Amino acid sequence: MAANGVYLTPTLSCYGIMARPPFEDFLPPDGYVQNEQVMSQGLQALKIAEENGVIVGSDLLISMHALQTEEFTVRSEVLSSPAILKHCTTNAAQMLRMEGQIGTISPGAFADLLILNANPLEDVTVLDRPEDHLLAVMKEGRVAMSLVAGLSKHEKL
């Protein structure tokens, strides 16, 4: 994959989601065994891909998009927080051919930012708990959501 420029966008969080409420009855009993095996092998494949220079991204569609951050928590079982953040920033920008526009904090970029009270480079799982850690969201340089005193919605920074 690395030699041919093929991207990997695993969606392992779906396997964890199917094993807990409200989806715990989604699979037949033998499906849980298979689900657990797929998760285990998927994590191993992710680790192998990362170690071998495969560009790993992140992708969940439609109604599952709200669960995207859980993917980071799942990946943290085998990868470092900086590697996982790269999947959803610079790697995503490369996959979409939008380098310099997204996935970076630099002049000319879209200025889509999250302001947190914890460092995701130290623990990426803080992104899976926005109710505890998300203080503000900026979209295209404007405040889209803020819990920070003095930083009001729609303000351009």
HEC per residue, the chain? CCCCCCCECCCCHHHHHCCCCCCCCCCCHHHHHHHHHHHHHHHHHHHHHHHCCCCECCCCCHHHHHHHHHHHHHHCCCCCHHHHHHHHCHHHHHHCCCCCCCCCCCCCCCCCEEEECCCCCCCHHHHHCHHHHEEEEEECCEEEEECCCCCCCCCEC
Give pLDDT, residue 118: 97
Give pLDDT, residue 15: 83
Give pLDDT, residue 80: 96
Q: Which carries the bigger pLDDT value, residue 6 or residue 59? A: 6
100-142 per-position pLDDT tens digit: 999 999 999 998 999 999 999 999 999 989 999 999 999 998 9
Cα 108 versus chain centre, distance: 23
Residue 84 Cα distances to 44, 56, 75, 120, angstroms: 15, 9, 7, 10
54-101 per-position pLDDT tens digit: 999 877 655 555 667 788 889 999 999 999 999 989 998 999 999 999
Is the confidence at residue 5, as pLDDT, over 80? Answer: yes
Give pLDDT, residue 65: 56
Cβ contact 138:111 at 8 Å: yes
Give pLDDT, residue 17: 80
34-56 per-position pLDDT tens digit: 988 999 999 999 999 999 999 99
Q: Given pLDDT bands bounded at 50, 70 and 90, which one contains residue 147?
A: very high
Which of 21-25, 74-78, 129-133, 146-150 is least confident? 21-25
